Amino acid sequence: MIWSIIRKELNQYNFSGRDIMVSSEKVGYFKKRFKSVWEAYLEFDEKITKLLNDTDRVMLDPVNNQVQEQCCEYCKTINIDYRNVLYGSMLLMVCSLAEYIFKELAKEIVPNYENRIGKRRGNWLIRNLDLIKEGGKVNIDENDVEFLSYYIRIRNCITHNGGIVSSGNAELETAIAKIQEYAKKGNYLLLKVTSDGHLILGDNLVGEVYIKIVDILDGILDFAGD
């Protein structure tokens, strides 16, 4: 899937009749970073699953109740705490990498980037996409932008508040509600909030964010010159 983001050996964009050069080194870096981040995520998730399976096998042995209870608690720690750390870390990494890539694309496409980006309103995604749209023809689904903005608020909560949902944060509460509503349609869990206000990220959340980023990048690069 990563190869649909940035075409192989692509080094020139053509937006609205304008040629915008992007170095092959930069394109190669984008490919390498996305690929390595995603592979690391899959590897860690596989290791967590193996830990759970190994613990399950121990629980099936004819041992005393105390050992079974200890294994059960260990399973909860792995399945909730370990996974939550992994998913939270990956959300930070994927969003940060996307921020860098969108910023670099906007710099290549739009002149006087630093002066113009400061006059824009919104999060980093919206501001950079607005500039990219000015630079030429793109095909971006605004629903993808809207939902990725919600995920960015989740990322910000993890980054600045340790994943604790503070009362009175209307933007964050809206993001959580919208994401949970969206997840219900697919009958899967993206995130939940514990009774004491901690965010628990679901198995599908990182993949969902990754797909949104890919779709937006595809919408920018669909009109790139081969």
Residues 45-62, buried b or exposed e (16+ Cβ, 10 A)? Answer: beeeeebbeebeeeeeee
Looking at per-residue confidence, does 66 or 178 come out higher? 178
- pTM for the model: 0.74
Ranges 30-34, 72-76, 102-106, 163-167: which has the least confidence: 72-76
Q: Which distant-in-sequence residues (6+ apart) come within 8 Å of 144 by Cβ?
A: 212, 215, 216, 219
Percent of the chain with pLDDT over 70: 70
Report residue 153's pLDDT band, with 50, 70 and 90 as the boundaries.
very high
DSSP annotation of 79 reads I
Backbone angles phi, psi at 15, to 5 degrees: -105, 125
Q: How many whole angstroms separate alpha carbon 160 and alpha carbon 33?
A: 24
Quick check: helix, strand or coil at residue 201?
Answer: strand
